[in-house]
Amino acid sequence: MGWADFSSISSHPNVEIVAICDIDTARAKKVQELVPHAKFYQDWRELLEKEAIDSVNVSTPDHMHAAITMTALEKGCHVYCQKPLTHDIYEARMIGAKAAETGLVTQMGTQLTSMTAERIAVEWIKSETIGKIREVYLWSNKPALQYRPMGPRPENADPVPAHVDWDAWLGTAPERPYVKGVYHPTWWRGWQDFGCGWLGDMGCHIMDMPFRSLGLSMPISVKADVEPEWIANPKRRVETFPQWQIVEYLYPGTDLTTDDTVKLTWSDGGKYPPDELRKHIDGGEWPTQGSSDDWRTRRDAEGSSRRTAPFPSRKICSNEATQICPSRSLRPVYRCHPRQRWRQNPFTVPLRGTVHRDGLNGHHCPPFSRTKTELGRGPYALH
């Protein structure tokens, strides 16, 4: 995510990147070539101590998010932090309290939130275009590869490359030896000391839509069905995550749900919603990842066939919402230049200059759209 964030941020004409930090000097060379004037550091603490900056972008492994974010907030810096916001719940509560205390501008990197398809799906649900929601299914089944290590951790150790500061990479995590191709730079998400597993990686993206649309609060209960072999192996349980899981959250109902409670089911590792629900997508295959809502129409609720708007007879899948929604079905709910497909906070790396709060709330100029005219047409939140 570091490169993706840098590419978006650096494309903004009003941003000056004054410092960058990476524990791997070899991987940092690409960025250094693009911003040769920016000061380079291998230790983020040194950067925050020495540089006079307005805002910080945090795109590190999960276990370092809270330490960097908290330090930046204490120094009076605005922060854009990649998802998941923190490595555990306690850290999230402390970061939330500090952000509220300081009044600084903060944002978490859940880019799907700003995409047209998700915003349309949110508006459909809020406006009850599809009726009230009975049940929610969320899933992510991208190819796992090394993102799902079985464990236990390797017993061997490899020489640390000269271009890697391994102690800085470990940061707040317990010490362990460097092993080539196991942790840095890509495969750390599946190890509990560094990442949050598949649910923590993709769940923050996919769960956002039902939370915003239904106005969910804290769950009443949570139960999980997971890989039996993982449960039976104590060494795996303390090091890695299950190869698959089905997690059921029970939430208090809202005025947009059919009942007093609503169940939200997350699945990954090759697990999908029940086959009987595929009738809502014309019997087709489920997308690799996405979300869908089981709804009750007004005909179910009131004994009539009235609908709030013309709507195709299909279940919403957020990643195909734009394909299944006839343009006449909805009033305009997403105002944005066609080439500006998502929003990111432009002030998310160390920079100098004036930070305008309204500039941090929806106006983003991606690399392929750089004119000032287009900057004035950022995406707008749905109401």
Smallest CA-to-CA distance from 290 within 203, 228, 383 is with 203
Of these ranges, 1-5, 71-75, 338-342, 355-359, the one predicted with the greatest mean pLDDT is 71-75
Specify whether 207 is located in the same domain as 263: yes
Strands lying side by side in the sheet with 261-268: 221-226, 245-252, 261-268, 132-140, 289-296
Model confidence band, residue 294 (pLDDT cutoffs 50, 70, 90): low
Q: Which residue has the higher pLDDT, 345 or 213?
A: 213
Specify whether 139 is located in the same domain as 263: yes
Domain-located, residue 187:
no
Model confidence band, residue 370 (pLDDT cutoffs 50, 70, 90): very low
Q: Which residue has the higher pLDDT, 313 or 32?
A: 32
Number of structural domains (the chain) is 2
pLDDT(222) > 80: yes
pLDDT of residue 293: 67
Query: Token pair 């005025």 is at which residue?
Result: 255
User: For the residues 151-158, what does the mean pLDDT come to?
Assistant: 92
CATH number (domain holding residue 64): 3.40.50.720
Answer whether 368's CB lies under 8 Å from 339's CB. Answer: yes
Specify whether 278 is located in the same domain as 138: yes
Domain-located, residue 318:
yes
pTM to 2 decimal places = 0.76
pLDDT(363) > 80: no
Domain-located, residue 188:
no
| HEC readout, 175-242 | CCCCCCCCCCCCHHHHECCCCCHHHHHHHHHHCHHHHHHHCCCCCCEEEEEECHHHHHCHHHHCCECC
pLDDT in tens, 66-96: 999 999 999 999 999 999 999 999 999 999 9
Domain-located, residue 292:
yes
pLDDT of residue 52: 92
pLDDT(215) > 60: yes
Specify whether 300 is located in the same domain as 203: yes
Domain-located, residue 154:
no
Specify whether 48 is located in the same domain as 129: no
DSSP string over 143-167: --GGGS------S---PPPTTB-HH
pLDDT of residue 128: 93
Specify whether 322 is located in the same domain as 265: yes
pLDDT of residue 309: 32
The whole-angstrom separation of Cα 20 and Cα 14 is 17
Query: Token pair 């370092």 is at which residue?
Result: 64
The per-residue pLDDT of the chain, averaged, comes to 78
Specify whether 103 is located in the same domain as 120: no
Is there a cis peptide before residue 84, judged by omega within 30 degrees of 0? Answer: yes
Residue 17 φ then ψ, to 5° = -85, 120
pLDDT of residue 64: 97
pLDDT of residue 253: 97
Domain-located, residue 381:
no
Specify whether 283 is located in the same domain as 201: yes
Q: Which residue has the higher pLDDT, 169 or 286?
A: 169
* Amino acid at residue number 253: G
Domain-located, residue 205:
yes
Please give the residue range of the domain that contains residue 124. 116-146+195-329
Specify whether 313 is located in the same domain as 228: yes
Of these ranges, 144-153, 170-179, 207-216, the one predicted with the greatest mean pLDDT is 170-179
Specify whether 140 is located in the same domain as 95: no
Angstrom distances, CA of residue 379 to CA of 279, 305, 364: 34, 34, 8
Specify whether 268 is located in the same domain as 346: no
pLDDT of residue 306: 32
| HEC readout, 247-313 | EEEEEECCCCECCCEEEEEEEECCCCCCHHHHHHHCCCCCCCEEEEEEEECHHHHHCCCCCCCCCCC
User: For the residues 214-227, what does the mean pLDDT come to?
Assistant: 96
Percentage of the chain lying above the pLDDT 90 cut: 59
Domain-located, residue 184:
no
**Residue 156 has which token pair?**
């061997």
Specify whether 45 is located in the same domain as 126: no
Handedness of CA 296, 116, 355, 2 (dihedral sign): positive
CATH number (domain holding residue 262): 3.30.360
The whole-angstrom separation of Cα 152 and Cα 190 is 11
User: For the residues 47-59, what does the mean pLDDT come to?
Assistant: 95
pLDDT of residue 154: 92
User: For the residues 300-306, what does the mean pLDDT come to?
Assistant: 36
